[in-house]
């Protein structure tokens, strides 16, 4: 079992029906060897009894900012210093707003403000509240501040709605904590990632493209930064903000993406091709808008360069990782790509009725190398990205220690 022994984990619980999952989370953290200090907001106590959490964690639950019984009367600073990691699960819309605003209005918010430990939030709320621009603004602020978001997942909600806002399962939170512990440092390595779709121009106002949102590639870039790598993200057009702390190279077409990759690839240790690069582009890009005249028109398309294959073919090449989006015979087709393109590793997105990764917060990935196959299962793209980076780091270090 992966270990969190010697880890001091502060588990913050805020008001929401998902608080019932926090009891299981405490139990699992303790099973993994962690010492757990639960800190609850007043609203959380309406959903789950502090005594339950005290019994499971073996420590009195803390909830009061001004607690005369706390050593030296500064409980929030003691807890903030004691913490190796801080997880808030569930994190309500109200708590997220208070944290984004830097409020110190109760013990939990104050501990979050005072601590230098890494913070992860597992948001849980009604889908309408999650989608509101105020909430999304707050989430973007917290991410930019370096706070990790675990989920939320999509699906049936306690209120009867269906959509994003379900708290991730305790197992996913444990996964995140144990994996971030295990990641071998990528300090001193340089990682280049391609992400998003490409746009292949038909005329000044139209393009050929695909459904890629860029979320998977951006999550991989964020995980590589968190593992200590110097990251260059070459991205096609997306609606996403680039993760903080990276070199960002925005491009549009496959040709532009190749040029940006070739500019820096000779100094890269790891290349991860997550982009959904268009395989074909219009043979001609018209300089004026194509006007509607004929009943039908025929487009001639020509192949774009295969960026991933070109990287893998270099004499002094980086550790090279590809992605494959497959609808049929996913594993067999991905194995063929691994072999034909000469890759070290390939991550297969299975595209079917149960998994359509395009634009989704979640995905199902299988990793395939010449010697093994690992099913990472279905999870949030953030968690899968951490697992992928962890696997890449292990394999990169193995390759360079022989
Ligand atoms: N890729 C690339 N340049 C291209 C096409 C694909 O770098 N012109 C990379 C993608 O970033 C991905 C991998 O190749 O890492 C596989 O992409 P995919 O579209 O699944 O496969 P293709 O090689 O394009 O083959 P096909 O479309 O026939 O499945």
Q: Which residues pair with 162 in a beta bridge?
A: 156
Asked if the domains 8-179 and 190-400 are classified in one and the same CATH topology, the answer is: yes
What is the reported pLDDT for 1? 41
CA of 358 to the centre of ligand 1 (A): 15
Backbone CA torsion sign across 124, 126, 131, 137: negative
CA-CA-CA-CA torsion sign (169, 365, 220, 388): positive
Q: Which atom of ligand 1 is nearest to 308's Cα?
A: 7
- Whether 300 has a pLDDT exceeding 70, the answer reads yes
Q: What is the Å distance from ligand 1's center to 244 Cα?
A: 27
Going by pLDDT thresholds of 50, 70 and 90, the confidence category of residue 184 is: low
Tell whether the model's pLDDT for residue 344 goes beyond 60.
Answer: yes
Query: Helix, strand or coil for residue 181?
Result: helix
Strand partners, 319: 270
Atom of ligand 1 nearest to the CA of 323: 15
Give nearest CA residue, ligand 1 atom 27.
Answer: 279
Q: What is the pLDDT of residue 351?
A: 83
Q: Which of 322, 333, 342, 343 to mutate to test the pocket of ligand 1 (most atoms within 8 A of CB)?
A: 322
Lowest mean pLDDT among 69-83, 257-271, 296-310: 69-83
- Report the atom number in ligand 1 closest to the C-alpha of 337: 23
**Pick from 260, 237, 258: nearest CA to 249:** 260
With beta carbons less than 8 A apart as the criterion, state whether 196 and 221 touch.
no
- What is the DSSP code (8-state) at residue 354? T
Å from CA of 339 to ligand 1 middle: 13
Could you give the CA distance from residue 247 to residue 333 in angstroms, rounded to a whole number? Answer: 33
- Which sequence positions are flagged as catalytic? 159
| C-beta atoms surrounding 240 within 10 Å | 15
As a whole number of Å, the CA-based R_g of the chain is 23
Q: What pLDDT does 3 receive?
A: 64
More confidently predicted of 74 and 12:
12
From the alpha carbon of 194, which atom of ligand 1 is closest? 11
350 φ/ψ angles, rounded to the nearest 5 degrees: -85, 120
Q: Which residues line ligand 1 (CB under 6 A)?
A: 194, 254, 273, 275, 277, 279, 304, 306-308, 322-325, 337
Measured in angstroms, how far is the CA atom of residue 205 from the centroid of ligand 1? 25
Q: Answer whether residue 225 shows pLDDT above 70.
A: yes
Q: What is the pLDDT of residues 63-113, one digit of tens each?
A: 988 776 665 555 788 899 999 999 999 999 999 999 999 999 999 999 999
Q: Would you say domain 190-400 falls under CATH 3.30.110.30?
A: no
The pLDDT assigned to 361 comes to: 80
Average confidence (pLDDT) over 305-332:
95
- Is the CB of residue 221 less than 8 Å from the CB of residue 231? yes
Domain ranges (residues) in the chain: 8-179, 190-400
Q: Using CA positions, which residue lies closest to atom 8 of ligand 1? A: 306
Average pLDDT, the chain: 91
**Mean predicted confidence (pLDDT) in 360-373:** 90
User: Which one of 324, 338, 363, 366 would you pick to mutate in the ligand 1 pocket, going by the greatest count of ligand atoms within 8 A of its CB?
Assistant: 324
Nearest alpha carbon, ligand 1 atom 14: 308
As a CATH number, domain 8-179 is: 3.40.50.1950
The residues, ordered by sequence, that sit 6+ positions from 239 with a Cβ below 8 Å of its Cβ are 213, 214
Residue 310 Cα: closest atom of ligand 1:
7
Q: Residue 89: phi, psi to the nearest 5?
A: -150, 115
| Ligand 1, atom nearest to 324 Cα | 20
Query: Sorting pLDDT into bands at 50, 70 and 90, what band is 261?
Result: very high
**Which of 195, 337, 365, 368 most suits a substitution to test ligand 1, by most atoms within 8 Å of the C-beta?**
337
Show the 3-state SS of 297-352. CCCCEEECCCHHHHHHCCCCCCEEEEEEEECCCHHHHHHHHHHHHCCCEEEEEECE
Ligand 1 geometric centre to CA of 345 (Å): 14
Instruction: Quote the pTM value.
Output: 0.66
Q: How far apart are CA 349 and CA 360, in angstroms?
A: 12
Instruction: Tell which one of 217, 236, 306 to mutate to probe ligand 1, the residue whose CB is within 8 A of the most ligand atoms.
Output: 306
What distance in angstroms lies between residue 275's CA and the mean position of ligand 1's atoms? 8
pLDDT for residue 219: 94
Contact call for residues 200 and 281 (beta carbons, < 8 A):
yes
Q: How far is the CA of 369 from the centre of ligand 1 (A)?
A: 17
| Percent of the chain topping pLDDT 70 | 96
Q: What's the rounded Cα separation, in Å, for the pair 356 and 155?
A: 14
pLDDT at residue 183, rounded to an integer: 58
**Helix (H/G/I), strand (E/B), else coil: 363:** strand
Question: How far apart (Å, rounded) are the C-alpha atoms in residues 93 and 108?
Answer: 14
Return d(Cα 132, Cα 325) in angstroms, integer.
31
């Amino acid at each position: 079992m992966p270990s969190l022994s010697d880890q001091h984990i502060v588990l913050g619980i805020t008001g929401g029906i998902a608080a019932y999952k926090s009891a299981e989370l405490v139990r699992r953290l303790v099973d993994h060897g962690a010492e757990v200090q639960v800190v609850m907001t007043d609203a959380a106590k309406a959903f789950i009894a502090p005594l339950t959490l005290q019994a499971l964690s073996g420590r009195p639950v803390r909830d009061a900012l001004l607690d005369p019984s706390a050593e030296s009367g500064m409980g929030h600073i003691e807890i903030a210093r004691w913490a190796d990691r801080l997880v808030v699960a569930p994190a309500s819309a109200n708590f997220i707003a208070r944290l984004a605003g830097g409020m110190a209005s109760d013990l939990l918010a104050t501990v979050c403000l005072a601590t230098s430990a890494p913070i992860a939030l597992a948001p849980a709320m009604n889908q309408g509240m999650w989608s509101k621009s105020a909430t999304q603004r707050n989430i973007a602020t917290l991410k930019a501040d370096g706070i990790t978001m675990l989920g939320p997942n999509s699906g049936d909600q306690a209120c009867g709605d269906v959509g994003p806002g379900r708290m991730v399962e305790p197992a996913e939170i444990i996964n995140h904590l144990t994996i971030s512990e295990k990641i071998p440092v990528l300090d001193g390595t340089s990682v280049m990632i391609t992400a998003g779709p490409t746009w292949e121009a038909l005329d000044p106002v139209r393009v050929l493209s695909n459904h890629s949102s860029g979320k998977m590639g951006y999550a991989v870039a964020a995980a590589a930064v968190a593992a200590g790598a110097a990251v260059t993200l070459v991205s096609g057009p997306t609606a996403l903000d680039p993760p903080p702390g990276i070199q960002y190279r925005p491009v549009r077409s496959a040709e532009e993406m190749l040029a940006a990759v070739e500019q820096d690839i000779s100094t890269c240790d790891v290349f991860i091709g997550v982009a959904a690069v268009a395989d074909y582009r219009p043979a001609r890009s018209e300089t004026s808008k194509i006007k509607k005249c004929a009943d039908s028109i025929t487009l001639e398309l020509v192949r774009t360069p295969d960026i991933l294959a070109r990287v893998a073919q270099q004499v002094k090449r980086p550790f090279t990782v590809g992605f494959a989006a497959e609808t049929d015979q996913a594993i067999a087709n991905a194995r063929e790509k691994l072999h034909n393109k000469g890759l070290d590793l390939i991550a297969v997105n299975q595209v079917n009725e149960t998994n359509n990764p395009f634009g989704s917060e979640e995905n199902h990935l299988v990793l395939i190398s010449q010697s093994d196959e690992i099913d990472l299962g279905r999870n949030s793209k953030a968690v899968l990205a951490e697992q992928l980076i962890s696997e890449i780091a292990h394999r990169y270090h193995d390759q360079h220690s022989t």
